[in-house]
Amino acid sequence: MIELSLVGIGTGNPDHLTRQGITALNAADLVLIPRKGESKAELADLRHAICAAVITNPATQVVPFDMPLRDSADPDYAAAVHRWHDAIAQVWQGCISTHLPAGGRLALLVWGDPSLYDSTLRIADRLALRLDLHVTVVPGITALQALTAAHAIPLNEINAPVTITTGRRLREQGWPPNADTVAVMLDGSCAFSQLDPTGIAIWWGAYLGMPEQLLLRGPLATVSDQILHQRAAARAAHGWIMDTYLLRRAT
């Protein structure tokens, strides 16, 4: 039996880790850390630094593994994601048979919170088809919480809904029907710049919670170019970027 704890670690600030998360990491026999190539080495380093700072149980092993890559050239996005998730479940299974052959407690550090635009829970479902698995989730601070906190704004307007979507969807399908507040994640190509900016305000944040944090806000028509420039410069300087933003349409 494998007891799998998915520990939300927040968005890059080691102080985002909760006491519940620290307890779960110390209860684990094995913590697996994904390596995602040179450009994302900083993110693996951050996970190692969190483990080094909070794990005091000498019996907890921290083991890196190479994360399989999604085939980004495959035009069938959904099929490529399915194959990718299967490959990850297979790698986890290999690590488990090497390091926990008799079963035990496994922990994974999940960026932000495991419930929001993260597939760890879906991959765990695949693993559960291959071995006896029980999953526990420790919630973490999401990128959206880090964004609204950094700008000191409420996520929603009074009694109003919020649409959370991806850059890909905003780019392909435009402004979501009936929405006034739209939170956008996973946007590699600045989908906001393709919208008609009339009456739309944006609150943008990159590297939220990290020392490099960048924030811009204002009418989309005024700040769109500024965001494009700052984003490109920051990406070039660091080799990677994670950003998210909230759009609100005047009603």
Closest CA to 244 of 153, 144, 173: 144
Q: Is 216 in the site for ligand SAM (CB under 6 A)?
A: no
Q: Does 142 bind ligand SAM (CB under 6 A)?
A: yes
The Cα-based distances of 198 to 30, 85, 201, 248 in angstroms read 52, 40, 9, 11
Q: Work out whether 137 is an interface residue with ligand SAM (CB under 6 A).
A: no
Which residues lie below 8 Å from residue 205, measured CB to CB, with a gap of 6+?
A: 146, 147, 150, 151, 213, 214, 215, 243, 244, 245
**Which range binds ligand SAM by CB under 6 A, 54-62, 89-97, 105-113, 157-165?**
105-113
Q: Is 180 in the site for ligand SAM (CB under 6 A)?
A: no
Q: Which of 43, 91, 100, 186 binds ligand SAM (CB under 6 A)?
A: 186
Q: Does 34 bind ligand SAM (CB under 6 A)?
A: no
| Closest to 47 in 3D by CA, of 81, 71, 70, 16 | 16
Candidates 42, 71, 118, 125: give the one binding ligand SAM (CB under 6 A).
118
Give CA–CA dist 27/162, Å, rounded.
37
Residue 181: closest CA among 145, 206, 151, 154: 154
Using CB under 6 A as the binding rule, whether residue 3 contacts ligand SAM is answered as: no
| C-beta of 48 vs 99, nearer to ligand SAM | 48
Please list the residues that pair with 185 across neighbouring strands: 166
Quick one: which H or E segment has residue 64? strand 61-66
Rounded least distance, CB 213 to ligand SAM, Å: 8
Q: How far is the CB of 132 from ligand SAM (least distance, A)?
A: 27
The residues binding ligand SAM (CB under 6 A) are 11-12, 111-113, 116-118, 142-143, 185-186, 205-210, 242-244
